[in-house]
Structure 1
Amino acid sequence: MKYIKTKRLIMRDWKQSDIPEFVKMNRDQDVRRYFPNMLSAEASEKLAVDIQKDIEDRGFGLFAVERRDTGEFIGFTGMQVLEENGPFRLEILPCIEIGWRFSKKHWNQGFATEAARGVLKFAERHTDIKKVYALAAERNVPSINIMKKIGMEKVDVFNHPQIIDGHSLKKHVIYDIELEKRRRFSL
C-alpha cells in the first residue's frame, strides 16, 4: 500500500470504504461546478477502480486522501499521466498532471494545498518526473489559487475540445512546475 504523509493528511491506496463518499462527492453540484457534468454512482465506482489500478501499475496516481485526526476519506490528490492519444491534443502531451478533488465540508482548510505539496515532494524523492502540469477551467479560481500556492506558473490557455463552444468552461489554463528546480532549492 502506498502512503504519503503530511502534518494532517495521509495519501494512500483506495479502500472499498472510500467509494460511498466518493460517489456522494461526485454527485455534489458544488464539487462538480467546474466540470461539464455530474458523475453517476457507476461512473464514480469505475473511476475509483481505474485510479487504484493506475497506482498499482505506475507506483503513483490519484491517491485517496484521509485525515490523520479522524481517519475520514476526504477526497483525492495525486498525479496521472495524460496520454497523447487521450481526449484532446496539446503540445505538452504526454505529460504528468497533478490534480485534486475534495468533499465540500473539507474546503477552505488548506487540505488541497497541503496534499498537493506532499505529492510534489513524493514525486521529487521517489520518481524521475521532471515536470508536472495542472489543467483547469479558467473560471476555476480555487484550483488556480492552489496551483499558485504550490509554486506553479501559468504557461498557456486553450479551448477544451470536449466542451461545446460558448460554454463557460470552454477556456482552460495550463500551469506547470519543474521538479528539478524544486529539488535544487530544497537541498
Structure 2
Amino acid sequence: MLQVKETSRLCFELMSENDAELMFQLDQDPQVMKFITRGKCPTRDDITNVFIPRMQAYTNPDKGWGLWKIMRRNSGDFLGWVLVRPMYFFDDEKPTALDDLELGWRLHRRYWGLGYATEAAQAIADALIATGEINYLTALAMEENVGSIGVMKKLGMAYVKSDTHQDPLGALDVAYYRCAVSELTG
C-alpha cells in the first residue's frame, strides 16, 4: 500500500465507502460544488449509488489511486480530499498509459486559502513520484476556478489546453494543466 508522509499540519489515509457521510457533508456547500456541478449538491443517494461506486472503480491502494482523506494532524479534523486516478479513467476506452495520473482536490470552504490543498496535493504527488511508475501529473478545472488553477501552478503544472471534459457526471469546459515528473525531479 502506498504510504503518504505526514506534513507538519496534515495526515492522510485512503477513503472508503465508510466515509460516505464525510463526502456527503463536504458536497453540501453550493460554493464547494460551484466549479464541479455548477453548485448542485448531491443527495445521500447520489453519494451511495454514484460517487462511492465511481471511487471504488479506480481505487488501488498499492498504486495510491483513490481519494486521500486530508486531516489535521493535531485534531484529526476532516478538511477534504485529494483524488488520484489515471487520466481519462472514465472514458469509453480505459486508458492504456497508466503513467499519467489525474490529481484533484475538494476542501470544505472554511479551509480555502490556507495552503492546505497545495500542501496535501504536494505530499501525495511526492509519494506517487517516489514509486517511479508515473511520468505525468495532470489536473483540470473550469477556467474561472482560479483557486484550483493556482494550486496546479504551485505544483509545477503548466497550461496544456482548454477542452470539454465529459464524464458520467456531465460535461464541463475546463483547462488542463500538466507537468512531467522529470521536470520536478530533474
How far does residue 48 in structure 1 lie from its aligned partner after superposition? 4.2
C-alpha change, 1:63 and 1:157, in structure 2 (3 Å) is same
Spell out the pairing of 1:7-22 with structure 2 (5 A cutoff).
Answer: 7-14=8-15, 18-22=19-23
In structure 2, distance between residues paired with 1:2 and 1:12: 10
Amino acid at match of 1:24: Q
TM-score normalised per structure 2: 0.81
CA contact (8 A) 1:23 1:45 kept: no
How far does residue 86 in structure 1 lie from its aligned partner after superposition? 1.4
Q: Counterpart in 1 of 2:149? A: 144
Percent identical: 26
TM-score normalised per structure 1: 0.80
How far does residue 78 in structure 1 lie from its aligned partner after superposition? 3.5
How far does residue 160 in structure 1 lie from its aligned partner after superposition? 3.6
1:44 matches 2:47:
yes
Q: Counterpart in 1 of 2:86? A: 81
Q: Deviations over 1:164-186 (max 9, x none)?
A: xxxxxx431000011122122xx
How far does residue 16 in structure 1 lie from its aligned partner after superposition? 6.3
C-alpha change, 1:51 and 1:96, in structure 2 (3 Å) is same
C-alpha change, 1:86 and 1:130, in structure 2 (3 Å) is same
In structure 2, distance between residues paired with 1:160 and 1:83: 9
Structure 2: tracts of 5 or more residues without a match: none
SS at match of 2:74: coil
CA contact (8 A) 2:98 2:134 kept: no
Spell out the pairing of 1:147-166 with structure 2 (5 A cutoff).
Answer: 147-161=152-166, 162-163=170-171
In structure 1, distance between residues paired with 2:99 and 2:41: 26
Spell out the pairing of 1:120-139 with structure 2 (5 A cutoff).
Answer: 120-139=125-144
Structure 1: tracts of 5 or more residues without a match: 164-169
Q: Counterpart in 1 of 2:115? A: 110
In structure 1, distance between residues paired with 2:24 and 2:146: 24
How far does residue 2 in structure 1 lie from its aligned partner after superposition? 5.0
Aligned residue pairs total 177
Q: Counterpart in 2 of 1:172? A: 174
Q: Counterpart in 1 of 2:61? A: 56
- Bigger drift between 68-77 and 36-45 goes to 36-45
CA contact (8 A) 1:18 1:73 kept: no
Q: Deviations over 1:103-147 (max 9, x none)?
A: 112111110000011111111112410001101111111100111
Tell me the C-alpha RMSD between the 2 structures: 2.9
Amino acid at match of 1:23: F
